[in-house]
Copies of this chain bind each other. A is one copy, B any other.
Amino acid sequence: MRFDVITLFPEMVEAASRYGVTGKAIDNGVVRLKAWNPRDYTRDKHRTVDDRPYGGGPGMVMKYQPLFDAVSEAKENGFGNHAKVVYLSPQGMPITQSLLNESVHCEQLILVAGRYEGIDERFIETVCDEEWSLGDYVISGGELAALIVVDGISRLLPGVLGDENSALQDSHMDGLLDYPHFTRPENIEGRVVPEVLLSGNHADIERWRLKQALGRTWQRRPELLKNKQLSDVEYELLQEFIVELV
């Protein structure tokens, strides 16, 4: 899969993508990432990428033409009109795991990272297929959002995480928060690892973990349970968790 990021900070995006899971996916050749700077597509002496908003007001707006030409080059360099163009913005649809899961099937994802107050609306309307947001908080540009999308999709691609660590291994706990994890030592200043995890009884361990995942989700994010159909076993485990609290 190929990612192209349209950004005024190509070095930042390229540097940050060299680490961790994305870095490995790039090294393995599973992912290709290229950053394109709209400034390289300007046609004036000052290499102007932004201008004042029509109607006045604070801040600057990114100009259509340099963005358009940068996206065109990324398409020519890649899969042409098979590419999906996504504008990252607080006005976008909130990213969810399903959105990332579906996106693994794209051949080329062109991620447009904005700066300043935003980009010319006509670019969004005519060039972008979708508009995605990280969540309801404001950051100063789309670069970190692009890196999150690249990371979240890369780890789903076959061959990126080992079989063992496969991103799909959590699928039986789909829509739930994770259970608690413990590693050595057994005792840290009197805090000991739950006995069941030392028992070697794999069925009991599985039940305990599912119960913790259900219980934590109920405690911290009850709205996630509303969207989930619990099986009889899951319902019983959650009851047990709640009863044991009192």
> Given A54-B193, A121-B182, A183-B51, A152–B135 Cβ distance below 8 Å?
no
A interface, how many residues as a size bin? 35 or more
Does A138 lie within 8 Å of B155, measured CB to CB? yes
Determine if A184 is an interface residue (Cβ-Cβ < 8 Å): yes
Does B54 lie within 8 Å of A183, measured CB to CB? yes
Contacts of A90 in B (CB 8 A): 177-178
Does B184 lie within 8 Å of A20, measured CB to CB? no
Give the most central of A55, A144, A165, A208: most B CB within 10 Å: A55
Does B155 lie within 8 Å of A139, measured CB to CB? yes
Pick from A11-19, A72-80, A104-112, A232-240 the stretch touching chain B.
A11-19
How many identical subunits does the complex contain?
2
Does A135 lie within 8 Å of B95, measured CB to CB? yes
> Given A137-B100, A155-B138, A93–B220 Cβ distance below 8 Å?
yes
* A224 to chain B: closest residue by CB: B136
Does A178 lie within 8 Å of B20, measured CB to CB? no
* A95 to chain B: closest residue by CB: B137
Does A61 lie within 8 Å of B134, measured CB to CB? no
* A168-223 at interface with B (beta carbon < 8 Å): 169-170, 177-178, 180-186, 188-189, 191, 193, 196-198, 202, 205, 208-209, 216, 220
Does A138 lie within 8 Å of B121, measured CB to CB? no
Of B53, B166, B202, which one neighbours A56 at CB under 8 angstroms? B202
CB distance from A75 to the nearest CB of B (A): 18
* A27-55 at interface with B (beta carbon < 8 Å): 50-55
Does B118 lie within 8 Å of A181, measured CB to CB? yes
Contacts of A2 in B (CB 8 A): none
* A53 to chain B: closest residue by CB: B181
Does B140 lie within 8 Å of A54, measured CB to CB? no
* A52 to chain B: closest residue by CB: B183
Does B220 lie within 8 Å of A91, measured CB to CB? yes
Determine if A84 is an interface residue (Cβ-Cβ < 8 Å): no
Mask: chain A, 220-232; 1 = CB below 8 Å from B; 0 = not:
1000100000000
Does B50 lie within 8 Å of A183, measured CB to CB? yes
A-B contact pairs, 5 of them (CB 8 A): A20-B143, A22-B140, A58-B166, A96-B137, A138-B167
Besides the contacts A12-B19, A64-B183, A144-B147, what 7 more A-B pairs have beta carbons closer than 8 Å? A54-B182, A61-B181, A63-B183, A91-B177, A91-B178, A120-B181, A120-B182
